[in-house]
Amino acid sequence: SSFVGRFAKMLLACDPFLMTYSDETARAYKEMVGDYENLLNNLPNGVTEQEMSRKLWEAQRISSAALHPDTGDSIPLPFRMSGYVPFNGPICVSMVASTSTQALLFWSWVNQSQNALVNYFNRNASSEMTNETLAKSYSAAVGSALAVAFGLGTFIQKRYSPAQAKKLMKFVAFPSAVVASSLNCYVVRSPEIDTGVPLVDGDGNDVLPNETSNIAAERGVISTTLSRAVLQAPVYFLPPVVMSALPSIKNAIARNPMLSVPITTYLVLVCFGIGLPASVAIFPQMGEIKVDEAEEKYQNLLDKNGKPHSVLYYNKGL
């Protein structure tokens, strides 16, 4: 429940090696996790309870990385948390390295297109989203991203000399990515606010079947949007600052400009690899809401012991 605990969990969940497991293996591990009580109560010969617990936790890690928690559907590799850095990392490097408005626009489009799909495949999918709504959300998200990148890029190109503009363009990716990624996440996930999300008790049981909470859905979307905004700092801001501030790196690039690309790539990927689990861990995936803060229909519901619920939970998505 602590940030450190969530960070450690997300660090394992973002492990690119998880992409090497097939969907069949992930589903088999999910069945294994679902049968955990039987497995712990009927241990195979030579297997201790501690060993079985470790196997079950690893099975949970593998299956949850590949399968959506609400639908059980397989998430395409480029849009999994474990695939975010390998697939989005090179795009981020290209954005940081962009020194012209045209290049920044192109890579912003590619980046926000992938982000939109990452947001879609990792949303709370308990309420369906139509293809029409998805298309509108994607268009609004990517359109806003390009507008921000174009506006900032054009302003710098007109305001400063070509030499100064080339240096400043490396930093344009950060503010444009913050605004664009936040808008992207909110726009793609906003239909959840209209449909709502189910609320469950501490055991994961739906407390009011076929009913949803719009208040909880809004909280989930906003918290995810904030975490996406925070993610942009280590990815787009730190690498240019480090390359400009550290004399050793600055001098090395001055002597050999060809080092700029590998150094930029290394810094962006390292910052991305640490920043992604850190930003996602800011908020728990299973958010909680006090009953008196939810809709009236959720108030005065009784738990399995006949006592009124005080807190309910919802999947905020990633």
pLDDT tens string 175-228 = 777 777 787 788 778 888 888 888 888 878 887 888 888 999 999 989 988 888
Query: Which tens digit of pLDDT belongs to each residue from 186-197?
Result: 877 888 888 888
Q: Who has greater pLDDT, 235 or 275?
A: 275
Q: Who has greater pLDDT, 236 or 285?
A: 285
CA–CA gap between residue 127 and residue 141 (Å, rounded): 20
Residue in the block written with tokens 């918290």: 223
The model scores a pTM over 0.85: no
Tokens found for residue 156 = 């710098």
pLDDT(9) > 80: yes
Among 49-53, 239-243, 269-273, the range of highest mean pLDDT: 49-53
Query: Which tens digit of pLDDT belongs to each residue from 128-160?
Result: 667 777 777 778 767 877 787 788 778 887 888
Give the model's pLDDT for residue 136.
74
Give the model's pLDDT for residue 129.
66
pLDDT(291) > 80: yes
CA–CA gap between residue 249 and residue 259 (Å, rounded): 9
What percentage of the chain has pLDDT greater than the value 90? 6
Query: Which tens digit of pLDDT belongs to each residue from 74-120?
Result: 999 989 888 888 898 888 888 777 777 788 788 888 887 888 788 78
CA–CA gap between residue 187 and residue 38 (Å, rounded): 43
Report helix, strand or coil for 141: helix
| Cα dist from 107 to 75, 142, 178, 282, 291, whole Å | 24, 11, 15, 27, 44
